[in-house]
Amino acid sequence: MSKLILCGFILCLLSFNGINSTSHTCSKNPEDTSACSQDGESESGCGCQKNRETDSSSRVDVNENQLEPEASEADSSSANFDADFPRTNQMILVEGGTYTMGTDVPIFVADGEAPARRVELPDFYMDMHEVSNAEFEVFVEDTEYKTEAESFGDSFAMDLFLSQATKSKISQAVKDAPWWLPVKGANWRHPEGPDSNIENRMNHPVIHVSWNDAKAYCEWAGKRLPTEAEWEYACRAGKDDRLFPWGNKWNPGGKYYGNIWTGSFPNENTGEDGYRTTNPVTEFPPNAFELFNMVGNVWEWTSDWWTIRHSPLVVHSNPQGPKNGKDKVKKGGSFMCHKDYCYRYRCAARSQNTPDSSAQNLGFRCAADKKKLPSYLEHIEL
């Protein structure tokens, strides 16, 4: 049985240690744009990834005639905190156990989805939702934290959602994924560039946050990022051999359980599932562990460094991933995932970015050890 943990106090009154210990080790040129370090599989097609670091060979000129303009609201006012929005720091106690992580039937072999291997985990807590804009704003107001997208001065957003004015200032895109544009002034408060805002999206997931930003938030909240093994266990919610948290059909009976790209990627998004971009963090039915949007909506950072080598020969006990690496693992896919381009909205699927990377479809949620539940959370039995 899971226990619902609700926030009983106001986070902004709390003082956490750790925010100052956030490591901003990146010293890359803020003028750098994305590299496309994809595996070369035609189907994966770089639909999911873009890293901040790059070289000039991975950039291409933007052909304005190929872009499908969609004007965003020309309101540059800063976001207002919606006090009515229910706080998102609710946590679910996930009872530990042994499960099958990964798959022996990989869609993207180069991603290291295979092999299936047994993993055992102790009990842990998982945020019920992706971290919302409202919650992230409390963190920023409490700490004056500056995200890496704000420090670098840009982040990646999709051309389809940008205003013509914003696109007119961009001259380069990501090679092999020209829908990804480095947008000056794009950050969590301005997801589609300076002329956009989050005023009516405070209950949507925060985006344009790097792994370093996510780590800082979780530490401030007295939590931590989930390991990949924890994240996938929580995603599956007891269904080891299924593609999605609820089964193998994406929309059984015509009902949608998550937000991906519907229509023809990248030029047409029908919004058939209700959303063309992000959705509120409590939209769509939760999985059997009462966790929302584990697949779809936004990608979620995990604490693990990236590797594609996994041993099927041993039972992995609470694996933490490699000790070091270049990229961090992200899970779950996003509203930009289409089956033809980025069929990664499956529990076993995975992808990676450098820890300083940020984008319009990348967010996170936090976890906590069973014995390290933040003191400001009070237990309420469901």
Number of residues interacting with Ca ion: please give it, by CB under 5 A: 6
Q: How far apart are CA 76 and CA 286, in angstroms?
A: 34
- Verify binding: residue 51, Ca ion, rule CB under 5 A: no
Token pair, residue 111, equals 């991603």
Instruction: Tell me if 286 contacts Ca ion by CB under 5 A.
Output: no
Q: How far is the CB of 249 from Ca ion (least distance, A)?
A: 17
Q: Does 259 sit near Ca ion (CB under 5 A)? A: yes
Look up residue 316 and give its two tokens: 């992995």
**297 counts as binding Ca ion under rule CB under 5 A:** yes
Note whether 275 binds Ca ion by CB under 5 A: yes
Helix axes 211-220, 133-143, angle to 10 degrees: 80
Q: Least distance (Å) from Ca ion to the CB of residue 333?
A: 7
Please choose, out of 32-40, 67-75, 305-313, 329-337, the segment that lies near Ca ion by the rule CB under 5 A: 329-337
Of 154, 147, 149, which is closest to residue 169 (Cα–Cα)? 154
Identify which of residues 33 and 297 has a Cβ nearer to Ca ion in the complex: 297
Residue 226 vs 319, nearer CB to Ca ion: 226
- Which residue lies nearer to Ca ion by CB, 30 or 263? 263
156 versus 275: smaller Cβ distance to Ca ion: 275
Q: Give the whole-angstrom CA distance, residue 229 versus residue 317.
A: 10
- DSSP annotation of 12 reads G
* Least distance from Ca ion to the Cβ atom of residue 288, Å: 16
User: In the chain, at which residue ranges do the beta strands (DSSP E only) sit?
Assistant: 4-7, 59-61, 91-94, 97-101, 117-121, 124-127, 154-158, 172-174, 180-184, 299-305, 316-317, 328-331, 351-353, 362-363, 367-369, 377-380
* 278 near Ca ion, judged by CB under 5 A: no
Q: If binding is defined by CB under 5 A, does position 293 make contact with Ca ion? A: yes
CA dihedral over 48, 162, 29, 172, signed as positive or negative: positive
Report whether 210 contacts 204 (CB < 8 A): no
Let me know how long the chain is: 382
Distant-in-sequence, close-in-space partners of 21: CB < 8 Å, separation ≥ 6 = 219
Select the residue whose beta carbon is closest to Ca ion and give its number: 332
| Separation between Cα atoms, residue 325 and residue 116, nearest integer Å | 22
Q: Find the shortest distance in angstroms from Cβ 96 to Ca ion.
A: 22
- 102 near Ca ion (CB under 5 A): no
Residue 289's contacts (CB-CB under 8 Å, 6 or more residues apart) are 2, 92, 94, 126, 234, 237, 238
CB of 221 to Ca ion, least distance (A): 18
CB of 339 to Ca ion, least distance (A): 12
Cβ closer to Ca ion: 125 or 301? 301
Q: Give least dist CB 26 to Ca ion, A.
A: 25
In terms of CB distance, is 152 or 275 closer to Ca ion?
275
Cα→Cα distances 230→61, 79, 249, Å:
41, 33, 23
Q: Pick the stretch among 173-181, 228-236, 247-255, 327-335 that binds Ca ion (CB under 5 A).
A: 327-335
Paired strand residues for 154: 184
Based on CB atoms, which residue is closest to Ca ion, 170 or 298? 298
- Which one of the spans 44-52, 104-112, 296-304, 336-344 is the region binding Ca ion (CB under 5 A)? 296-304
Binding residue for Ca ion, selected from 332, 351, 360, 362, defined by CB under 5 A: 332
- Is residue 273 at the binding interface for Ca ion, with CB under 5 A as the rule? yes
Site string for Ca ion, 222-251 (x = CB under 5 A): ------------------------------
Minimum CB distance to Ca ion smaller for 194 or for 332: 332
Stretch that binds Ca ion, among 85-93, 218-226, 265-273, 318-326 (CB under 5 A): 265-273
The two beta strands, 124-127 and 91-94, are antiparallel
- Which chain residues interact with Ca ion by CB under 5 A? 259, 273, 275, 293, 297, 332
